[in-house]
Amino acid sequence: MTRAPEGAAPARRPEVVLFDVFETLLVLDPLRGRFEEVGRPGHELETFFARTLRSGMAYTLAGQAPPFRAVAEAELAAMTRHTLSRAATAHILDGFAELPLQPDAEPAFDLLADAGVPAYAFTHGSATVLETVLERHGIGHKLVRVLSAEQIGAFKPPRRVYTWACEQAGAAPEATALVAVHSWDTHGALRAGLLAGLATRHEGGVPDVVERPHVVADRVDEVVAGLLALG
């Protein structure tokens, strides 16, 4: 585990922790099988997800983003040149509500519960998707709430999206931490004045082009442990 370089502004232990959802808390790989079940190659999953994020961010920059599922449907149609049936599209997208939890998610929630620090999920996807997953695993009570930026017509990472999440959680940005496996997401949080922790199990390290998070570790629960040790 590493922390922000010496000379950076001193950071305090967070009062609230926000968790990114896709790939941070949920495993996306099972969607690959759904692509194959409708006759598409499994490797299209990565392209589909990247295009959905890209377009959602672009619509946000233009002023207003449609809901995540609507953007995802449009990207599936464009990728397949509108040859995918409605039923096949629904079969792929319905899989989001059946994704498994990452193995380091629940231990991270437990660390925060033991420390008395409230945890929230923070997504630009549907709140219902993660709520369904958490209830299926019987751990919905371990998060205070799922915050979806669909409520303000936006995808991360503009500043206003993180500010909104802090307001919903009732904490100042400097007292709120974001935990994610995407460095663009932790970069956005840092630019908005939040604390940030990056789990490198997805990207393998911290790119030179982003601001360095306060805590960097391989696993999400290790990142949470580092955040709780701040200040």
Residues 115 and 211 occupy one common structural domain: yes
Residues 191 and 167 occupy one common structural domain: yes
The answer, yes or no, to whether residue 141 has pLDDT greater than 50, is yes
Q: 26: which DSSP letter?
A: B
Q: 17: which DSSP letter?
A: E
- DSSP β-ladder status, 195-199 and 176-180: parallel
Residue 50's pLDDT is 97
* Residue numbers of the domain that contains 43: 30-97
Rounded mean pLDDT of 58-87? 97
Residues 180 and 129 occupy one common structural domain: yes
Domain finish residue from 97, 113, 131: 97
Rounded mean pLDDT of 25-37? 98
Residues 67 and 149 occupy one common structural domain: no
Residues 139 and 174 occupy one common structural domain: yes
Residue 2's pLDDT is 60
Residues 69 and 107 occupy one common structural domain: no
Residue 7's pLDDT is 44
Domain finish residue from 97, 121, 148: 97
Rounded mean pLDDT of 147-172? 98
pTM of this prediction? 0.95
Residues 111 and 147 occupy one common structural domain: yes
State how many domains the chain has: 2
In whole angstroms, give the CA distance from residue 173 to residue 75.
33
The answer, yes or no, to whether residue 6 has pLDDT greater than 80, is no
